[in-house]
Structure 1
Amino acid sequence: MRRSNAPRARAQGEAFARGPLRFGGLTEDEGWALAPITTLDRVHFRVDHELPLAAFRAELPAGVTVTYDEGDGLYRVDGAPGQARLLAELVRSWCAVHGRRTIGLRPEPDVRRRQPRDLPPAFLEDLCRHYGPISLKRLQRNMSTIRLHLPDSDDIGQQVYEWILKAVGVYDEGKGVPFGAFLATQLSKWVHDLGRSAYGRTATDTENKQQKAIAAFITEHQRRPSERELAAFTGQSVDALRRNAQTVATLTGLRNLQSLDAAPEMTEGLMPDRAQASDDILGEAEQTLLSHALTAACAPDPTVRKDQRASLPNVLGWVTWYETTWAGKTKTQLAAELTTSVRNMNVHADRVQVAMRSRLEELAG
């Protein structure tokens, strides 16, 4: 007996006939219309010493806003369209007069943004409640990468909602793309940005470029490339490839430091018997203990609240100590590579120093 397709056709018809999504009693189109996206000029920059925001804002023209992302150490100066070049010069001259050095100053004209707070609260709340679970499902294929940076499920959920708000801020309804489709295309990009935020743009992009080149070579030749073959394949010198490989190795090593998220005190460090071990082995063992002490000093502090900075692994402090102690880099060089400020690095490195002092005393005893 032939089954009728009528129920399926009816269901499809009902789906197509379903009305638009409504949030807080408004359709999406009605909500976007209440807080339309606007055009502005923006200047991004970092500095080697934190700015006194009140004094800095007072020197800028009326209507110009200044925001500071403490996590990234990034300043954003927003003004009316056509002011990008003027604002960049004002920032540069103000910092020069007040003894600040700008890092990566970049004017960006015609930036289109919306402030999420301009939307009706009920509309924004319902929109986040609707797209939160959808976004988590969409990110399942990226979850192994996300958990490298956000091992706690609650933190992942919070990050997803932050991404939804970020999408609200940049979504341009005038382009005819539904918000859900726009959000889906942006999520994977922002997953990649997690690595940039944690380890720096240079290191993360270098790792991504190298892995893509290796994968492309394997696809073409069915084997992994040699060092010279990979250099030729990527169009760079062997020396440059080696420097990039060191960057990737450092990044990979940071990710594999399990004691940052585990309990370092529960990890036993075994010393070889001095009567049977060579001096070389003993030297390596001492280096291992020193490395363990550094790693343990960068672990989360279980005695503080979760909303405090010390409750997270001190990755930047670890990198600062490692690169300036063993890799021979200056803090200025490292700050430029990681696109952060020397002041931000010093704050994280000082936390390591305090914790390292007690741990080294234990080892010496």
Structure 2
Amino acid sequence: MSENIAVALPADTTATEERRHREPLVFGGLPEAEGWALAPITPRDRVHFRTDRELPLAEFRAALPAGVTVTYDEGDGLYRVDGEPGSAEPLAALVRSWCAAGGYGTVGLRPETGVRRRAPRDLPAAFLSDLCRHYCRVSLKRLQRNMSTIRLHLPDNDDIDQQVAEWVLKAVSTYDETKSVPFGAYLATQLSKWVHDLGRNAYGRTAADTENKQQKAIASFTAEHQRRPSEKELAAYMGQSVATLRRNSQTVATLNGLRNLQSLDGGADAVEFVVPDSAEVPDEIMGEAEQTLLSHALTAACAPDPTARRDQRAAQPNVLGWATWYLTTWGGQTKTQLSADLNTSVRNMNVHADRAERALKERLAELAG
């Protein structure tokens, strides 16, 4: 007795393969791969540095040899001088001497060899425009899961759009098409790193990284032992001494306190200050009273504005502005020293400090009235 056995024949996979095959993206009339080939990434030597005040770029460029390019990242306050391979040390010496002769202080000046970069302007204009338009949309969609973090630093939608566009251009300049990784995949891996850098730029690289390491260590220990670690256990887990952990914990506590300036702002109108009569008390006490008023006004000026919309910058605490004013006024630090400690640019500090100054003047006018 025979049975009819149904045998599954191989299905025609042609239609499936056609669905899987994607046509190459076309930007400005060029397939993406052809566009990259028109401006391949090339090696160069580079000198990075920041300054205590902005350089006159036209004069600076004129002082450099032919073929050397200078770019300036306004947001980060970082200058980049690019030359031919093998020129890093001579360029660094030239930059250092030119800045010294002009009275410009340099911060973090360092030569770097074998940097692989492309200039976005070397790509065809239509290709670059279409590529940025496409990948800006893709990036905004991918960054939705990070949006709560991004809005802590960039509350305005226009600011977010501009930052994403800058990130896409940054990826264009560093993308190495010879490594057989699609640009979209490369961009996706970089975006998460650059979101983290927002916190490092706003609060200082050291403080932000310290907080991140501590939180990761606490989370790992808690998952492993089902409880939070003691101070000694956390220090051992992170390979640090208890003294180092305590210093770092103080840094993290300060950072968290600065982020929550709104909890410190009782409102100048809601608090009564008893100011002693200057005719009856020593000058030292008057100085302390005036300093207390000024420090409170500064804290209030840097706190979030409760009347601002959540998508506005004023709705977020001005942490860097507060730190710049407080540490240069009472901490005995110069902006150059503070810039090095926080690993951010003097220009970035000045932008936040100017914003704090405008609000501070209003506060002081209220107190004087």
Fold-level similarity (TM above 0.5): yes
Q: In structure 1, which of residues 232, 237, 250 is the aligned counterpart of residue 236 of structure 2?
A: 232
State yes or no: 1:360 paired with 2:364. Answer: yes
The one-letter amino acid paired with 1:191 is V
Compared CA separation, residues 137 and 354, structure 1 to 2 (3 A): closer
- TM-score under structure 1 normalisation? 0.79
Contact residue 269 and residue 289 of structure 1 kept, 8 A: no
The one-letter amino acid paired with 2:213 is K
State yes or no: 1:183 paired with 2:217. Answer: no
Uncovered stretches (5+) of structure 2, i.e. residues with no partner: 1-7, 275-289, 306-312
- 2: CA distance, partners of 1:185 / 1:257: 33
Contact residue 316 and residue 345 of structure 1 kept, 8 A: yes
Q: In structure 2, which of residues 219, 222, 229 is the aligned counterpart of residue 218 of structure 1?
A: 222
- 2: CA distance, partners of 1:52 / 1:156: 29
Q: In structure 2, which of residues 97, 101, 107 is the aligned counterpart of residue 103 of structure 1?
A: 107
**Helix, strand or coil: the match of 1:224?**
coil
Q: In structure 2, which of residues 83, 86, 106 is the aligned counterpart of residue 79 of structure 1?
A: 83
State yes or no: 1:37 paired with 2:50. Answer: no
Q: Which residue of 2 aligns with 1:149?
A: 153
Compared CA separation, residues 313 and 120, structure 1 to 2 (3 A): farther
- 2: CA distance, partners of 1:348 / 1:19: 47
Q: Which residue of 2 aligns with 1:281?
A: none
Contact residue 46 and residue 73 of structure 1 kept, 8 A: yes
Compared CA separation, residues 164 and 215, structure 1 to 2 (3 A): same
- 1: CA distance, partners of 2:348 / 2:149: 25
The one-letter amino acid paired with 1:160 is V
Which structure carries more relative contact order (alpha carbon 8 Å, separation 6+)?
2
Q: CA deviation at 1:157?
A: 2.6
Question: Mean alpha-carbon deviation: is it higher for 65-74 or for 26-35?
Answer: 65-74
Compared CA separation, residues 24 and 349, structure 1 to 2 (3 A): closer
Q: In structure 2, which of residues 112, 116, 121 is the aligned counterpart of residue 112 of structure 1?
A: 116
Deviations 1:103-157 (A, max 9, x none): 1111111111112222222222222232223222222222221111112233223
**1:50-89 residue pairs with structure 2 within 5 A?**
50-89=54-93
Question: Mean alpha-carbon deviation: is it higher for 316-325 or for 197-206?
Answer: 316-325
- 1: CA distance, partners of 2:330 / 2:367: 20
- 1: CA distance, partners of 2:259 / 2:105: 32
Question: Mean alpha-carbon deviation: is it higher for 161-170 or for 345-354?
Answer: 345-354
Compared CA separation, residues 9 and 290, structure 1 to 2 (3 A): farther
- 2: CA distance, partners of 1:310 / 1:53: 32
Contact residue 49 and residue 341 of structure 1 kept, 8 A: no
Cα root mean square deviation, aligned: 3.6
Q: Which residue of 2 aligns with 1:158?
A: 162
Q: CA deviation at 1:252?
A: 2.2
Q: Which residue of 1 aligns with 2:324?
A: 320
Q: Which residue of 1 aligns with 2:271?
A: 271
Compared CA separation, residues 273 and 53, structure 1 to 2 (3 A): closer
Compared CA separation, residues 144 and 341, structure 1 to 2 (3 A): closer
Q: CA deviation at 1:88?
A: 1.3
Q: Which residue of 2 aligns with 1:137?
A: 141
Q: CA deviation at 1:187?
A: 0.8
- 2: CA distance, partners of 1:272 / 1:167: 53
State yes or no: 1:335 paired with 2:336. Answer: no
Q: Which residue of 2 aligns with 1:20?
A: 24
What's the % identity of the aligned pairs? 74
Q: CA deviation at 1:222?
A: 1.7
Q: CA deviation at 1:235?
A: 2.2
Q: Which residue of 1 aligns with 2:285?
A: none
Question: Mean alpha-carbon deviation: is it higher for 205-214 or for 15-24?
Answer: 15-24
**Helix, strand or coil: the match of 1:139?**
helix
Question: Mean alpha-carbon deviation: is it higher for 212-221 or for 152-161?
Answer: 152-161
State yes or no: 1:193 paired with 2:197. Answer: yes
- 2: CA distance, partners of 1:146 / 1:159: 10
Contact residue 262 and residue 317 of structure 2 kept, 8 A: no
- TM-score under structure 2 normalisation? 0.79
Compared CA separation, residues 318 and 6, structure 1 to 2 (3 A): farther
Q: Which residue of 2 aligns with 1:304?
A: none
Query: Considering only CA atoms, is the larger Rg found in Structure 1 or Structure 2?
Result: 2
Deviations 1:289-331 (A, max 9, x none): 8666324434799xxxxxxx99997543211123345656554
- 2: CA distance, partners of 1:79 / 1:16: 44
Q: CA deviation at 1:31?
A: 0.9
Q: Which residue of 1 aligns with 2:245?
A: 241
Aligned pairs, how many?
340
